[in-house]
Amino acid sequence: MKIPYDKTKQYLVLLIKILVVSGAFYYIYNQLSKDDTLDLELLTSIISKPENSLSVILLLLLTFSNRFVEILKWRNLSSTIKPVTIAQSTKQVLSALTLGIFTPNGIGEYAGKALYFDKKDTPRVIFLNMVCNGIQVIYAIVFGLLGLSILNLFHPIVPNHYLYITYAVIAVVVTLLFFVRNFAIKGYSIQTIIKLINEIPKKKHHLNIGLAFLRYASFTHQYVILYYLFGVELPYFELLCAVSAIYLLASSLPNFQFLEFAVKGSIAMFIFSTLGVSQWIVALVATLIWLLNIVLPVSIGSIFVLTFRLKKD
């Protein structure tokens, strides 16, 4: 007796769901089991101190803000396709994050979000996701370069000529993009992209820009609070510049979500060693950021992946 096609499809989708979720938790367990910096007794003693209560509460609020702002960003842009509630946007963002954990720089997130829309809207979903993430990249580049340049004035982190080359390359790229707007690759040109961007209402662009700044501030200040909790005594502005530089350098390297804490941690060690910060503190902060910003939302996203149902053709 042949198994009906629909039944076979259901079993295949269920298998994929189980593999994705199992794989996500395997990588999380594997990374944590190899991490010797996560001292639970030390964490408990620091968190339980009454003088640290406000900082811990603020850290938790920023952790929530980091993802919730992203959910609001996606709801704002995806509503140009169809009305999306906060609950629906939450499912789409966290499911996509879970799927993206296996792909370089979270590329899988694009496909994850597209699953919640009609097939005909897939190109539009991918484009909107690029707009959603693109503004974060711009903030990372601008504030990261600014932070690294300021930090480099007082601490020789990188040779100055590297910074000059970076600024020159950016200037050349921007200039070329301006003059070759009609140059097309597979039918797509800069002019086409600009046209698609202009089709999005200005109010949505303004909201996206504002929310992206709020998310960037939430993320960077998670680092700032954690470093202060562990006794780092660097001035606030200097610490913020260092965090911005780390985020820029880590974002510019190809990596997987489940290895993000290792990539950011190694870059943080390179920068903070120049500032006299203990390496075990840097490693511990990197692990905690990974737990708060990746492990926690992926754990919730796994539930949405398991309960996801493909749309019937």
State pLDDT tens for residues 207-235. 999 999 999 999 999 999 999 998 888 89
Structure tokens at 36: 């010797």
Ranges of each domain in the chain: 5-34+60-306
> According to the model, what pLDDT value does residue 311 have?
59
Q: What count of other Cβ atoms lies within 10 Å of the Cβ of residue 246?
A: 27
The model carries a pTM of 0.81
> According to the model, what pLDDT value does residue 57 have?
92
Task: Please tell me whether residue 101 adopts helix, strand or coil conformation.
Answer: coil
Instruction: Please name the residues in contact with 80: beta carbons below 8 A apart, sequence gap of 6 or more.
Output: 124, 128, 200, 201, 204
Rounded to an integer, what distance in angstroms lies between the CA atom of residue 186 and that of residue 251? Answer: 27
> According to the model, what pLDDT value does residue 74 have?
95
Residue 126 amino acid letter: I
Picking from 136, 112, 135, the residue whose alpha carbon sits closest to that of residue 125 is 112
Rounded to an integer, what distance in angstroms lies between the CA atom of residue 161 and that of residue 263? Answer: 24
Instruction: Please name the residues in contact with 70: beta carbons below 8 A apart, sequence gap of 6 or more.
Output: 93, 132, 215
For the chain, 313 residues long, give each residue's pLDDT as a single digit of tens: 444 545 455 545 555 555 555 555 555 555 555 555 556 676 777 777 888 889 899 999 999 999 999 999 999 999 999 999 999 999 999 988 887 776 666 677 777 788 888 889 888 998 999 899 889 989 998 999 999 899 888 888 777 888 888 888 888 877 877 776 665 555 556 777 788 888 899 999 999 999 999 999 999 999 999 999 988 888 999 999 999 988 887 766 655 555 555 566 677 777 887 888 887 888 788 888 888 888 888 888 888 777 766 555 4
The residue with tokens 């089991």 is 33
- Residues forming a β-bridge with 224: none
Rounded to an integer, what distance in angstroms lies between the CA atom of residue 87 and that of residue 99? Answer: 18
- Please report the beta strands in the chain, taking only residues with DSSP state E, as ranges in sequence order: 184-185, 188-189
Residue 88 host element (H or E): helix 86-100
Rounded to an integer, what distance in angstroms lies between the CA atom of residue 233 and that of residue 124? Answer: 47
> According to the model, what pLDDT value does residue 252 have?
66
Q: List phi, psi (to 5°) of 145.
A: -65, -40
Alpha-carbon separation of residue 114 from 80, 107, 121, 131 (angstroms): 14, 12, 8, 15
* Residues 216 and 290 sit within 8 Å (Cβ to Cβ): no
Residues 115, 125, 128, 89, CA torsion sign: negative
> According to the model, what pLDDT value does residue 2 have?
44
* Residues 89 and 75 sit within 8 Å (Cβ to Cβ): yes
Rounded to an integer, what distance in angstroms lies between the CA atom of residue 95 and that of residue 73? Answer: 16
311 DSSP assignment = P
257 DSSP assignment = G
> According to the model, what pLDDT value does residue 11 have?
44
Rounded to an integer, what distance in angstroms lies between the CA atom of residue 272 and that of residue 285? Answer: 12
Picking from 208, 236, 240, the residue whose alpha carbon sits closest to that of residue 137 is 208
293 DSSP assignment = I
Residue 243 host element (H or E): helix 236-251
